[in-house]
Amino acid sequence: MKYELFINGEWVKDSNQEYFPAINPYTQEVWAEIPQASDAQVAKAIDCARAAFDGVWSKTSGVERARLLNKLADLLEADAARMGVLESTDNGKVIRETSSQMLFAARQYRFFAGSADKLWGKVIPLDQPDILDYATREPLGVSVLITAWNSPMGLLSNKLAPAIAAGNCVVIKPSEHASATTLEFAKFVEKAGFPKGVINIVTGDMRVGKALTSSGRVDRVSFTGSPNVGREIAAQCGRLLIPVTLELGGKSPNIIFEDADLDKAVVGAFAGIFAATGQTCIAGSRLLVQKPVYEKIVKTLIEKSANIVLGDPINQKTEMGTLANEPQFNRVMRCIENGVKEGARLVAGGHRATGPTLGKGLFVQPTIFRDVDNSMELAQEEIFGPVLSVIPFDTEEDAISIGNDTKYGLAAGIWTSDLNRAMRVSKAIRAGSVWVNTYRAVAVQAPFGGFKDSGFGRERSEWALDEFLAPKNIMIDYSNMARDPFAIKT
């Protein structure tokens, strides 16, 4: 399967178009060819987005934007099963999760469709009685949306839905490690009937990202990825005075207190780290367990980890898929080796998983380290794989201190039957999302984003619209205007 770039409502390529392979991480076979956009093609995508904004989209009503977003949702929802298979083929995530993410993405388009014609302004009372002052919320113009490989369609909906609802035109760049479903999504854009140039997609490696963020001709950049790349983008955009939304990494504490429902907490711990093969920014990769229940929790974790079903991501019975690509697989294995060298006790997994149903797949065994010191690299650096660090603690104050002792601040989990404790700890933990007696629960109505090295700005919810809007203030002095509009001047 060979894809092309989607620019100005058309599938385009030039005579010297380069392509790179999309590799199935389960079979290690090339299953698609993805175009490498040139600087000229990136520039064209930006130009077309700008022309569409100035000529058509800025004049398009919120009602019409809502209709198109709802149509996108219809098309994605109707094709969720096929899109889930494509995404699992591209990044190795299990089909049960990729299919559900398609439906969640469709929900996002519907949610923001409901906001497209409700971008209220505000009348502002001033000291001067003869001046009318009001503020409107205006779209920024052209937004660049850069997504990661772990959840291409889910991450895109976080950005595209509010950007379009707010009235922006966009240029999208998916990760070079998982581009196929984003290009497939362009077919929905065509069928929905979006004006040409409103949504453009350019694919390729970091050269494409640099061309987009250094052009100086866009009005907003929204990026999901690693903190290191986020810093480079923020620095580049800062020099150009382009606002940025950054959704970066995490090293989230998942805290189990002795009074928790332990059976439920263990399920939450597993969902927090082994779902999505640990390849999620909100992974509960640091499991903090109060000492009276520490041994029991560790024993249960070890037993349950041995029963996780690894296999073909397309198989509905598979519970954990592959790492998404070879560089990420190698990185996770290095992190495990370094954890052993640091002195953490490896009690489960720690090796490449092999077997008759695993073939050449990039599988890592569900891996658990116990007695991890929070100062270890194992507990401080984001691994982005199925690697759990279990850390004991004594008191509530210890849990808060350890939980906050990280450069990240994206998410956290709290397991307790004490409502007062839940309220105290959730307030004290420095994270953008805190779950109490659940983990990895998502809702389009709830804002998502982090503190510290986890980035800034928010996605989902009504807060996401503000990332793509700017207030405009209008002041009218009517003190000298004719009091009678029908008066004839002589």
Catalytic residue numbers, as ranges: 247, 281
Q: How far is CA 105 from CA 99, 156, 349, 413, in A?
A: 10, 8, 33, 24
Tokens of 324: 């998404």
CA–CA gap between residue 372 and residue 441 (Å, rounded): 26
- Cα 237 to Cα 148, 210, 214, 400, 452, distances in angstroms: 19, 10, 7, 35, 18
Distance in angstroms between the alpha carbons of the first and the last residue of the chain: 77
Report which secondary-structure segment, H or E, holds 299. helix 294-305
DSSP secondary structure letters along 185-249: HHHHHHHHTPPTTSEEE---SHHHHHHHHTSS--SEEEEES-HHHHHHHHHHHHHHT--EEEE--
CB 394 within 8 A of CB 414: no
325: phi then psi, degrees, rounded to nearest 5:
-160, 165
- Per the CB < 8 A criterion, the answer to whether 439 and 272 are in contact is yes
CB 165 within 8 A of CB 139: no
Count other C-beta atoms under 10 Å from residue 476's C-beta.
11
Task: Report residue 440 as tokens.
Answer: 């990895």
- % helix, strand, coil for the chain, step of 5: 40, 20, 40
Cα–Cα dist 347/364, whole Å: 15
The count of other CB atoms within 10 Å of the CB of residue 316 is: 9
Tokens of 259: 């009074």
Do the beta carbons of residue 247 and residue 280 sit within 8 Å? no
Distance from C-alpha of 346 to C-alpha of 77, rounded to nearest angstrom = 42
Quote the tokens at residue 63: 């009602």
- Assess contact for 142 and 218: CB atoms under 8 A: yes
Rounded CA gap, 254 and 297, in Å?
Answer: 13
Q: Centre a 10 Å sphere on the Cβ of residue 391 and count the other Cβ atoms it contains.
A: 25
Output the CA–CA distances (angstroms, integers) from residue 262 to 286, 400, 416, 429, in the order listed. Answer: 17, 20, 9, 21
Q: How far apart are CA 463 and CA 115, in angstroms?
A: 11
Computed on alpha carbons and rounded to an integer, the radius of gyration of the chain in Å comes to 25
